[in-house]
Amino acid sequence: MKDQRIFVTKAFMPAKEEFLKYVEKIFSSRSLTNQGELARELEDRLAAYLKTPHVLACANGTLALMMGLRLAALGGKKVVTTPFTYVATLSAIMWEGCIPVFADIDPETLCLSPESLRECLKLHPDVAGVVPVHIFGNACDVQAIEAICREHGIVCLYDAAQTFGASYGGRSLLAYGDYSICSFHATKVFHAVEGGCLVVHSQEDKHQAVLLRAFGHLGDEHYSLGFNAKLSELHAAMGLCLLDKAADNIAKRKAVSALYDAALPKRGIQRPALRPGLVYNYAYYPVIFDSEEVLLRVRDALRRENIFPRRYFFPALNTLPYLPVRGQACPVAESVALRVLCLPLYGELEESIVEKIAAIIKSIV
């Protein structure tokens, strides 16, 4: 085992021959980008899969989030988000000129706390939008958060980057909110190597998003300021290869997660609580230790065995030095960020490796 390097994930791949069939089509057409045939096909199939009529495939999830913020006219305004997420969430907010305001997380689900959001809005009545994150593919309290947003007349834009294949209340998590985005990065349960999507709920928003995605152009006419957020045909080809296989990949990850559940110690670690009614996608396998000191001992012991977990998500974003407004305390997120470690999880992970990881953790906690 010491000769084998085990990383936190391994990209899910199609058969080479299947991908090359699409590559042959691309070489024949010489259409590489600018909303080509494969990108359009992927969008149509994603809309059917997610049961959301207005899905726009994008170059990545970060650009999709920036587009959502732009559509919601949140530039220059205060936007509440969680400090416990990947830095891309904050990056998109700041690149759009928004002022990030942090609300703390629920200690059980690790998602944005509706109670903390309410307190945040008391302190910042000029907040214009909220970007909750369905962290680790777990569902936020969508009913409570959206009720608060309606009460205060503010926009709800979900960062659902980690949720592909997850559903709640019979709907894809991407169907909630005024807007939502997903990532199709190679680390996700469904990917296009790089890519993402923006989900909107009106034809007008879709029209504006189409312009935003392509420099504000439509044919030879230029209508508005925009991004270059188009998905290439090569990336769309990978997505088309993997879309119908996503459910099988999730099932395999579920089986590996069950091995961890059985093998890991019952004391000394915690697991995030999944929201009741969630159909989970097994995007990650996070464990929460009693202290950062224990986490570091576990991480270092695993590394000595060529096993490389990741500290998703560390540090808490409200502690970063380049924030426009510093000193926003989020004690739950700050504590969890020090103590959470994501263990290796992918469909082909052998049971013997899971048992080895569990044995190392047991020996320390």
Q: Give the per-residue pLDDT at 2.
A: 57
The reported pLDDT for the residue numbered 3 is: 72
Q: What's the average model confidence in pLDDT over 5-11? A: 97
Q: Report whether 341 contacts 309 (CB < 8 A).
A: yes
Model pTM above 0.95: yes
Give the Å distances, CA to CA, from 350 to 255, 353, 355: 11, 5, 9
Strand order in the sheet with 269-270: 269-270, 286-289, 340-342
Q: Is residue 313 reached through a cis peptide bond, with omega within 30 degrees of 0 on the bond before it?
A: yes
Q: What tens digit of pLDDT does each residue of 162-176 get?
A: 999 999 999 999 999
Distance from C-alpha of 122 to C-alpha of 2, rounded to nearest angstrom: 54
- Predicted confidence at residue 204, as pLDDT, reads 97
Q: Please state, as a whole number, how many other Cβ atoms lie within 10 Å of the Cβ of residue 201.
A: 15
Tokens of 228: 């270059």
Topology classification of domain 246-364: Aspartate Aminotransferase, domain 1 (3.90.1150)
Q: CA-CA distances (angstroms) from residue 133 to 113, 146, 344? A: 11, 13, 22
pLDDT-based confidence at residue 267 (cuts at 50, 70, 90): very high
Does 1 score more than 80 pLDDT?
no
Mean pLDDT of the chain: 97
Q: Across residues 54-81, what is the average pLDDT?
A: 98
Whether CATH 3.40.640.10 fits 16-243: yes
pLDDT band, very low/low/confident/very high, at 41 (cuts 50, 70, 90): very high
Whether the predicted pLDDT of 354 surpasses 60: yes
* pLDDT, position 300: 98
Indicate the domain borders of the chain. Answer: 16-243, 246-364
